[in-house]
Amino acid sequence: MNVPPGSTVAIQGLGGLGHLAIQYANRFGWRVVALSRDSRKEKFVRDLGAHEYVDGSKEDPAEALQKLGGASLIVTTAPDPMVIPPLLKGLDILGKLLIPRGLSVHAWPSGHALDSEETIQFSELQGVNCMVETFPLDKAKEAYEAMTKGTVRFRAVITMK
């Protein structure tokens, strides 16, 4: 999963898998946040190694995770799939969501310089062409307006000639 020690990892669902996940996450050196809707579980999960506890019946788990800096990883173990979508907002940039049902969600950091360089090299080798709409420099304002209105085809490029 490539989650370094010290990262915030949230465990949602504190039953058969969740209680193990808390202990594993703690032993990996992660900052463990247990998520549940039952305040009676707080002492139990802290005894297992959770550093933080979020009671979803009292506060929004995603907001609580964001206040902690966002989760690098959220592990969902509860059987109700409806609890998963709201948790996505609790992920940090490039955060991961682990769903132990054979599913995964991956992030792609669009715009990273290395990705752009590799994409350009691949495009050149494979004959992939980037289509753009060009505007001369004196039409930069029109290009910007077209871009904000969504009327530019593909990408707007300002030319110097």
Q: What is the pLDDT of residue 81?
A: 81
Q: What is the pLDDT of residue 154?
A: 84
Q: What is the pLDDT of residue 118?
A: 87
Q: What is the pLDDT of residue 105?
A: 65
Q: What is the pLDDT of residue 107?
A: 66
- Domain presence at residue 3: no
- Domain presence at residue 85: yes
State whether 24 and 96 are in the same domain.
yes
Q: Quick check: 26 and 6 in contact, CB under 8 A?
A: no
State whether 101 and 121 are in the same domain.
no
* Tens digit of pLDDT at every position of the chain (161 positions): 789 999 999 999 988 889 999 999 999 999 999 999 988 999 999 999 999 999 999 999 999 999 999 999 999 988 788 888 999 999 998 899 998 777 666 666 666 777 788 888 988 999 888 888 999 999 999 999 999 998 988 889 999 97
Q: What is the pLDDT of residue 35?
A: 97
Please spell the DSSP secondary structure of the chain, one letter per residue. Answer: ----TT-EEEEE--STTHHHHHHHHHHTT-EEEEEES-GGGHHHHHHHT-SEEEETTTS-HHHHHHHTT-EEEEEE-SS-GGGHHHHGGGEEEEEEEEETTTEEE----TT-HHHHHHHHHHHHHHT----EEEEEGGGHHHHHHHHHHT-SSSEEEEE--
Q: Domain count for the chain, please give it.
A: 2
State whether 149 and 74 are in the same domain.
no
- Domain presence at residue 2: no
Q: What is the pLDDT of residue 23?
A: 96
Q: In angstroms, rounded to a whole number, what is the distance separating the alpha carbons of residues 41 and 60?
A: 17
Q: What is the pLDDT of residue 101?
A: 72
- Domain presence at residue 147: yes
Instruction: Map tokens 């999963």 to a residue.
Output: 1
Q: What is the pLDDT of residue 100?
A: 77
State whether 91 and 47 are in the same domain.
yes
Domain assignment of residue 132, given as a range: 113-159
Q: Quick check: 28 and 53 in contact, CB under 8 A?
A: no
- Closest by Cα among 68, 86, 14 to 44: 14
